[in-house]
Amino acid sequence: MTVSPLAPAFFPALPVIDGVHFASVAAGVRYAGRQDVMLAALDAGTAIAGVFTTSATRSANVLDCQAKMGGAASGPAAIIVNSGNSNAFTGKYGDGSVAAICAGVAQVMGVDPQRVFTSSTGVIGEPLPHERITAKLDELTAGLTAGAIEGAARAIMTTDTFPKGATATVEIDGKPVKIAGIAKGSGMIAPDMATMLVYVFTDAKIAQSDLQALVSRLNNRTFNCITVDSDTSTSDTLLMAATGASGVDVTGSDAFADALHGVMLDLAHQVVRDGEGATKFVEIQVDSAANDADARRVAMAIANSPLVKTAIAGEDPNWGRIVMAVGKSGAKADRDLLNIRFGDILVAEEGWRSPSYTEEAGAAYMKNAELLIKVGMGLGAGTATVWTCDLTHRYIQINADYRS
Amino acid sequence: MTVSPLAPAFFPALPVIDGVHFASVAAGVRYAGRQDVMLAALDAGTAIAGVFTTSATRSANVLDCQAKMGGAASGPAAIIVNSGNSNAFTGKYGDGSVAAICAGVAQVMGVDPQRVFTSSTGVIGEPLPHERITAKLDELTAGLTAGAIEGAARAIMTTDTFPKGATATVEIDGKPVKIAGIAKGSGMIAPDMATMLVYVFTDAKIAQSDLQALVSRLNNRTFNCITVDSDTSTSDTLLMAATGASGVDVTGSDAFADALHGVMLDLAHQVVRDGEGATKFVEIQVDSAANDADARRVAMAIANSPLVKTAIAGEDPNWGRIVMAVGKSGAKADRDLLNIRFGDILVAEEGWRSPSYTEEAGAAYMKNAELLIKVGMGLGAGTATVWTCDLTHRYIQINADYRS
């Protein structure tokens, strides 16, 4: 598979997070000849928070993780993830697969099953051959090492064209606190093979409830602000583990929150950059909306519009389609107060095309691989920023022909 | 342009509606060498009802039509429509274009300007050269004839690959009442060139308020139940004119309502059949939802999902994507009660794939040009039916490359 033209140049060097060990293995869940299961072992005392898909048909794994959130952080913990099969819409059998994997990990690693968290990504509706995973638990446990996070990032890939990692180190009270995260996903765009999964690790010390509140808040400014094609996976999962090994309490620390925000935003952008068929990375900024919710409605209507996305793919500065998307968003809008910019180019204002705008300037701007679309509503103080990619022939190819 | 493979074999023979005369002309609004303006002259006493786009950035024409709805039906009336330019997002200039056209028609035809209704469809954001239209008003008026409705259907086309017409005659109190309708649109999918416009004429006698209530109700079961790509035009307009020339009062008549429903549904289906790039016509039926609103949410989530639509284009029976769409719809859903059928083939039930389902049967079914997807929610009495088409390479081609 060709790597996305929007991919970063290389996988970043991720630091070792004290208290976390990784292993990955080829279990043959669906793929042959590649690693498809990763295990992260977390030392006793690690706080674990998570955010999950809101889908009404979410997978057995997601339901199980959600039920376990907020539990005591006393003993060791584990996260185990397979690619190739999502274990979604697999009925009662799917619940059994999760239970079998959790029981297996608990036994081999000496962990409370309530502290074992699973994710599965891949085809929907096929029973998960979980015995292929449990058969590899001894091998996985024996292979656990502190520095093996890149292998974990590769094992969870499905239609991804590159592994995704991000890191930050922040100094608090004179001591370094490290954050390392990995993700997989080509957007929310292919729930049968391209669910978004995110795992972030830190040696910071923080209570589970504080970590959960922080992750939920930052999620709304990062992963909840990206869209590839508006389709929502049955399995989207973000798990964050704080081992506390640095000894630095980050409760209420703005510096830590900023660093974590940076890591999560970096991973979110990488998911968009690996959007199926993407050739353009697009930031959409909406300001002066009646309120933040309206700004988000407008930004998402633009980001999800097939007409806007195909125009971008064709490098066509078709700003009329942005007007259309503003109009259909449901947000309060006044034609004569609206303005639209491509980067710094003023395109439309006062209810129609700006006198200073030229089609040549717009067309030249659209040749860029990274685009900024700014919409001013002229109504209030509401703002939102979201990120998306274009809609290309390659998207149709990937998704019309996937299973056949 | 190649005609859609889903097009009807021929344009239907539409009956003359007493009290209506049509003309069309080549005004060169944007297109050269084809008719692009149509005029319908309506006898005194004609009741006119309408439904319009809900877009917050709707066109000057739509705003003007909406302001005129519900006025007295005493004098004669006119509907004038141009293709090639939508007069949307043209600021105060656009309001002036509508006023100029209405004033011109009023003067030439001796009609109250409050009884002149306009529509424009085509590029957004370019000033409408309305003087090209007003220059042709004498020619249009001179050419008015009772039988020229097919020419009108052709004059309003933009990216349409075939003209759209439908008719019904219903006997009420032993007398025939005739309905004839025309439409344009390749779905709601290309607001810069493919707005949906619908004009329906009848010789029935009915008060404006009763006609408006009837049309609004039937619109919710026809044009509001189709989607090509979820994008909403700035100009969508349906106007219905009842001349009363038959002398038959249809107030409260179920037979008339049924006949009108049939005409509107036929036209709505033709719009989907001309959806840009469409190769499949898809009916989605949802039943046993918690309520009708939830059923519609589920049906529209399936109909608008790029993943479902690309799978259909690829003739891939990828029912996991339907599960995904149900899950993201926001409707109440229970995995274990859900069932999914392709036509009569039971695909999924009790939380996973049906034991009787085979991939071969699903794949064979998807080869059909007309598909039925049925979803049972197992929760209540809510139902909905919507229609859509697939998402193909041709859609990307048309919309990525349109203006360039």
- Count Cβ atoms below 10 Å from residue B397 Cβ, excluding itself: 15
Give yes or no for a contact between A259 and A246, defined as CB atoms under 8 angstroms apart. no
Contacts of B319 in chain A (CB under 8 A): 125
Residue A112 has pLDDT above 90, yes or no: yes
- How far apart CA B213 and CA B257 sit, in angstroms, is 11
What are the two backbone dihedrals, phi and then psi, of residue A224, each rounded to the nearest 5 degrees? -80, 0
Residue B185 has pLDDT above 90, yes or no: no
A131 domain residue, yes or no:
yes
Contacts of A311 in chain B (CB under 8 A): 399-400, 402-403
Give yes or no for a contact between A146 and A16, defined as CB atoms under 8 angstroms apart. yes
Q: What is the pLDDT of residue B351?
A: 85
Average pLDDT value for residue range B188-215: 80
Average pLDDT value for residue range B370-393: 94
E strands of A155-297, at which residues?
164-172, 175-184, 197-202, 237-242, 281-289
Q: What is the largest CA-CA distance in chain A?
A: 71
DSSP codes of every residue in B154-181: HHT-SS-SS-EEEEEEEEETTEEEEEEE
Poorest-pLDDT segment among A233-242, A307-316, B179-188: B179-188
- How far apart CA A171 and CA A214 sit, in angstroms, is 18
Q: What is the pLDDT of residue A188?
A: 44
- The answer to whether residues A87 and A191 belong to one domain is yes
Tokens 């109909």 locate to B303
Q: Catalytic: B195?
A: yes
The overall average pLDDT reported for chain A is 91
Identify the domain boundary among B257, B273, B289.
B273
What CATH code is carried by the domain that includes residue A328? Answer: 3.10.20.340
- The answer to whether residues B212 and B314 belong to one domain is no
Interface check for A305 against chain B (CB to CB < 8 A): the answer is: yes
CB contact under 8 A, B316 and A401: yes
pLDDT category of residue B56 using cuts at 50, 70 and 90: confident
Residue B20 has pLDDT above 80, yes or no: yes
Cβ neighbourhood burial of A29 (10 Å; 0-12, 13-18, 19+): buried
Q: What is the pLDDT of residue A194?
A: 52
- How far apart CA A39 and CA A18 sit, in angstroms, is 16
- How far apart CA A189 and CA A196 sit, in angstroms, is 9
Q: What is the pLDDT of residue B272?
A: 87
**Residues in CB range of A364: below 8 A, 6 or more apart:** none
Interface check for B335 against chain A (CB to CB < 8 A): the answer is: yes
Q: How far is CA B50 from the centre of its chain?
A: 12
- How far apart CA B149 and CA B134 sit, in angstroms, is 21
Q: What is the pLDDT of residue B53?
A: 85
% pLDDT > 70, chain A: 96
Identify the domain boundary among A217, A250, A273.
A273
User: Containing H/E element for B311?
Assistant: helix B306-313
The amino acid that residue A25 corresponds to is V
Average pLDDT value for residue range B306-316: 90
- The answer to whether residues A215 and A305 belong to one domain is no
User: DSSP character for B337?
Assistant: T
B59 domain residue, yes or no:
yes
- The answer to whether residues B52 and B172 belong to one domain is yes
Give yes or no for a contact between A119 and A158, defined as CB atoms under 8 angstroms apart. no
Q: What is the pLDDT of residue B404?
A: 39
- The answer to whether residues B231 and B328 belong to one domain is no
CB contact under 8 A, A56 and B331: yes
Q: What is the pLDDT of residue A192?
A: 40
Identify the domain boundary among A273, A308, A324.
A273
Beta strand pairing status for A77-85 and A116-123? parallel
Q: What is the pLDDT of residue B35?
A: 96
**Residues in CB range of B364: below 8 A, 6 or more apart:** none
User: DSSP character for A107?
Assistant: H
Poorest-pLDDT segment among A75-84, A218-227, B100-109, B142-151: A218-227
Average pLDDT value for residue range A62-82: 91
Sheet holding A237-242, edge to edge: A47-52, A237-242, A197-202, A175-184, A164-172
3 state SS of B109: helix
A9 domain residue, yes or no:
no
Between residues A188 and A300, the one the model is more confident about = A300
% pLDDT > 70, chain B: 96
Which tokens go with B97? 């274009």
- The answer to whether residues A68 and A133 belong to one domain is yes
Average pLDDT value for residue range B217-245: 84
Sheet holding A37-42, edge to edge: A20-25, A37-42, A77-85, A116-123
Question: Domain of B262?
Answer: 20-273
- How far apart CA B68 and CA B113 sit, in angstroms, is 10
Q: What is the pLDDT of residue A77?
A: 96
pLDDT category of residue B49 using cuts at 50, 70 and 90: very high
Of A218, A202, A121, A194, give the one whose Cα is nearest residue A167: A202
Q: What is the pLDDT of residue B192?
A: 40
Which tokens go with A190? 């292919």
- Count Cβ atoms below 10 Å from residue B318 Cβ, excluding itself: 25
B8 domain residue, yes or no:
no
- The answer to whether residues B157 and B254 belong to one domain is yes
Residue B402 has pLDDT above 70, yes or no: no
A14 domain residue, yes or no:
no
Which of A62-76, A377-391, B262-276, B303-317 ranks highest by mean pLDDT? A377-391
Which tokens go with B132? 């090209």
% pLDDT > 90, chain A: 71
Closest CA–CA distance from residue B230 to any residue of chain A (Å): 8
Tens of pLDDT, residues A221-259: 888 888 776 666 778 888 999 999 999 999 999 999 999
B6 domain residue, yes or no:
no
CB contact under 8 A, B333 and A56: yes
Between residues B186 and B268, the one the model is more confident about = B268
Q: What is the pLDDT of residue A231?
A: 67
E strands of A248-404, at which residues?
281-289, 339-342, 345-349, 352-353, 370-376, 382-389
Give yes or no for a contact between A295 and A326, defined as CB atoms under 8 angstroms apart. no
Give yes or no for a contact between A50 and A271, defined as CB atoms under 8 angstroms apart. no
3 state SS of B196: coil
Average pLDDT value for residue range B59-73: 90
Of B206, B238, B193, B222, give the one whose Cα is nearest residue B85: B193
- Count Cβ atoms below 10 Å from residue B69 Cβ, excluding itself: 15
Tokens 């992750």 locate to A215
Give yes or no for a contact between B161 and B270, defined as CB atoms under 8 angstroms apart. no
Q: How far is CA A371 from the centre of its chain?
A: 20
- How far apart CA A61 and CA B218 sit, in angstroms, is 44
Q: What is the pLDDT of residue B31?
A: 85
E strands of B191-330, at which residues?
197-202, 237-242, 281-289
- The answer to whether residues B269 and B285 belong to one domain is no
Say how many domains are in chain B.
Answer: 2
% pLDDT > 90, chain B: 71
A236 domain residue, yes or no:
yes
Interface check for A375 against chain B (CB to CB < 8 A): the answer is: no
Q: What angle do CA B298, B304, B306 make, to 5 degrees?
A: 125
B1 domain residue, yes or no:
no
User: DSSP character for A145?
Assistant: B
Q: How many contacts, defined by CB atoms under 8 Å, are there between A and B? A: 244
- The answer to whether residues B149 and B295 belong to one domain is no
Which tokens go with B57? 């950035």
Closest CA–CA distance from residue B77 to any residue of chain A (Å): 29
- The answer to whether residues A213 and A95 belong to one domain is yes
- The answer to whether residues A325 and A266 belong to one domain is no
CB contact under 8 A, A403 and B318: yes
- How far apart CA A330 and CA A294 sit, in angstroms, is 8
User: Is the interface score ipTM higher than 0.85?
Assistant: no
Residue A352 has pLDDT above 80, yes or no: yes
Contacts of A89 in chain B (CB under 8 A): 320, 323, 335, 348, 351-353
Q: What is the pLDDT of residue A232?
A: 67
Contacts of A233 in chain B (CB under 8 A): 324
What CATH code is carried by the domain that includes residue A170? Answer: 3.60.70.12
Closest CA–CA distance from residue B337 to any residue of chain A (Å): 10
DSSP codes of every residue in A28-97: -SS-SSS--EEEEEE-TT-EEEEEE---TT--HHHHHHHHHTT----S-EEEEEEEEE---S-HHHHHHH
pLDDT category of residue B191 using cuts at 50, 70 and 90: very low
The overall average pLDDT reported for chain B is 91
Tens of pLDDT, residues A8-60: 999 999 999 999 999 999 999 998 889 999 999 999 999 999 999 888 888 89
Phi-psi region of A132 (alpha: psi -120 to 50; beta: other; left: phi over 0): alpha
Give yes or no for a contact between B359 and B244, defined as CB atoms under 8 angstroms apart. no
- The answer to whether residues B260 and B288 belong to one domain is no
The amino acid that residue A278 corresponds to is A
Tens of pLDDT, residues A174-200: 999 999 999 998 754 433 445 688 899
pLDDT category of residue A401 using cuts at 50, 70 and 90: low
Residue B122 has pLDDT above 60, yes or no: yes
- Substitution target in B61, B89, B302 with the highest count of A β-carbons within 10 Å is B89
